[in-house]
Amino acid sequence: MNKMTVLQKVPLELDIFYKNYSIPKVSLGDRVRIVVYLELDREIVNGKGKEKDRTQAFEGIVISKHLNSKQFDATITIRKMFAGGGAEKVFVLNSPWIKSIDVWSSSRVRRSKLYFLRKRTGKSARLKRLL
């Protein structure tokens, strides 16, 4: 029995979902940079309510990809490495909050999920680059 969520039962032709048409082809092992638009809480400055907004970049390796990028609820997981550990973030590809996705480089991988990178640090966490 195929279990479907309520959103997957709705036909995609209805145009009720946000669709981002500027998504590049992203595959596992790619080093990407995702720029996200953030809207911060209202801050009272000089007695006036002022909204703050800014953009934030998250750069790392794609370690998992869920569903096809053409579907409205497709997600990718990005792992960012830094000294002392790493951080992971899940992004919905068709989110209106994503400003841009840039693919910097690609690597050769032979797995469908790169979760083994969670246990590795330093040189052991490197992947073979494609030329």
The architecture of the domain spanning 23-109 is Roll (2.30)
DSSP string of the chain?
A: -----HHHHS-GGG--S---TT-----TT-EEEEEEEEEEEEEEETTEEEEEEEEEEEEEEEEEEES-TTSTT-EEEEEEEETTEEEEEEEETT-TTEEEEEEEE-EE---S--GGGGG--GGGG--EEP-
Rounded to whole angstroms, the Cα distance separating 6 from 94 reads 18
Would you say the pTM of this structure is higher than 0.85? no
pLDDT digit string, tens, across residues 56-108: 999 999 999 987 766 778 899 999 988 878 899 999 888 888 889 999 999 99
Higher per-residue confidence, 3 vs 38: 38
On whether the CB atoms of residues 108 and 29 are closer than 8 A, the answer is: yes
- The pLDDT assigned to 47 comes to 57
- The pLDDT assigned to 22 comes to 75
